[in-house]
Amino acid sequence: MLASLRYLAGTAGPSGFGSRATADEVVSSAAGQGDGGDLGHITAIVTGATSGIGAETARALARRGARLVVPARSLKAAHEARARLLDGGPSDPGRIVVLPGLDLSSLASVRRFASRFLALGLPLNLLINNAGQFVERLGLTEDGAETTFATNYLGHFLLTRLLLPKMADTARDTGVQGRVVNVSSTVHAWFSSSSGTGDDDEDDGPIIGYLNRLTSKQTPYDATRAYALSKLANVLHTRALADRLREMDVNVTANCVHPGIVRTRLIRDRAGIITNTVFFLASKLLKTVPQAAATTCYAAVHPAVAGVSGKYFADCNEASPSRLASSGEEASRLWSFSEGITAKEKENESVLVTSFRFQVQNSNADRGMAVA
C-alpha cells in the first residue's frame, strides 16, 4: 500500500528519484557527477531504439554525448531513428551509428549483427536489451522457439553472450565499468510455478516445462502468459549473468528494470474499445514515455549504481522481483537451457568484415557521418 501511494505521489526513494522522474533528469544528474559533465566516454547499443521507451532512452543518452549504435530490422527505420537522435542531440553526427538487419527472433540474425558490430572496431560500455514484442497467436521461430520468448529473451541472451568479451575488454582498457541493462516488467510476476497446466518435470522446472508444452502444442497458447514468461526470463537472465560476471572477475555489471506502465506502440497495436477505455480510465496511473525511460537510464549510467549487479529496479530504486524470479535454481536452469539452444557453430558470413565496414561507412557517410 505504501509503495502504491509513493508511486502515485511521485515521492523520491533512496536514490533521490521516484516514479515521476524523467530520463533527461536522471541522465543530467548522472552526467553532472561524471568527468567533464557529459557521457562522451560511453558507447552504447540500445535494442528497440527506433520507437517508444528505447527511442527515449537513446535520445537522453545521445543528448549528453554518448555514442549510440542503433540496431533495427530495416535500414529505413534505423536512419529515421538516427535523424531524430541528431535533432537536438550530439553536434558530431559520427556519434550515431546505424546498423540495420537485427531480428532478435532469429539467432542467425543476432550472430550476424554481433559480427557486424565487432567488425567496426568500436568499444562497448553499455548494452541495453530493451526491445520487446507481444505476440497474439502462437508462432515458432526458425530455431523452433516460441516467438515472444525468442524475441524478448533468447535473442538478447545470445546478443549479450556474443558482445560480453568486447565489453570486458573495453572496461579493462578504459577503466570505465561496463553495464548490461535488461528491460523486464512487473508483469514477470504474473507467471508463477503454478502458471502452466499439467505436471512439470522436476528437472525442467516451471518455465522450461511450460515452454516445452507450448511449443509441442500440448497446452493452449495464452499471449499474456507467454509475455509474462519472457519478462520473467529477463529477470532470471540478469541474476545468472551477474553471478557469472563475478566469477569471470570482469568490470561489467548486469541489472534489470521495470520501466512502468506506459502506452507505447506495443500496447497501441492492440488498441480497441476495451483497451482504449481501460487506458483512458487509468491515464493518471500511467507514466509518460520520458518517465518510463528514467529507470533504464538510471541503471545504465548513474554513478549510484556503480558496482551494483544482479538487482531489479523500479522507479529508479532497487525493488524486489517475484519469488520465482529470485530463484537461483531456476536462473541456473534457464541459463543452461538457453546455452543449449544458442550453442550452434557460428555460421559463415556472406559479407567479409572489411566489405561490411566499407558498406556501413558509405551508407552513413551519405548522411553526413563517419564510423570512427
DSSP alpha helix (H) spans, the chain: 2-9, 23-32, 52-63, 75-86, 107-119, 147-149, 155-174, 205-215, 223-248, 265-268, 273-281, 289-292, 294-301, 328-342, 353-365
From the number of C-beta atoms within 10 Å of its C-beta (0-12, 13-18, 19+), residue 45 rates as buried
Alpha-helix runs per DSSP H in 120-154 = 147-149
3-class DSSP assignment, residue 74: coil
Angle at 52 between CA 41 and CA 342, to 5 degrees: 75
HSE-up of residue 146 (Cα within 13 Å, Cβ side): 30
Report the distance separating Cα 118 and Cα 115, nearest Å. 5
CA distance 133 to 231: 11
Give me the active site residues, please. Answer: 221
CA atoms 67, 260, 104, 341: torsion sign: positive
* Rounded-to-integer distance, Cα 359 and Cα 368, Å: 14
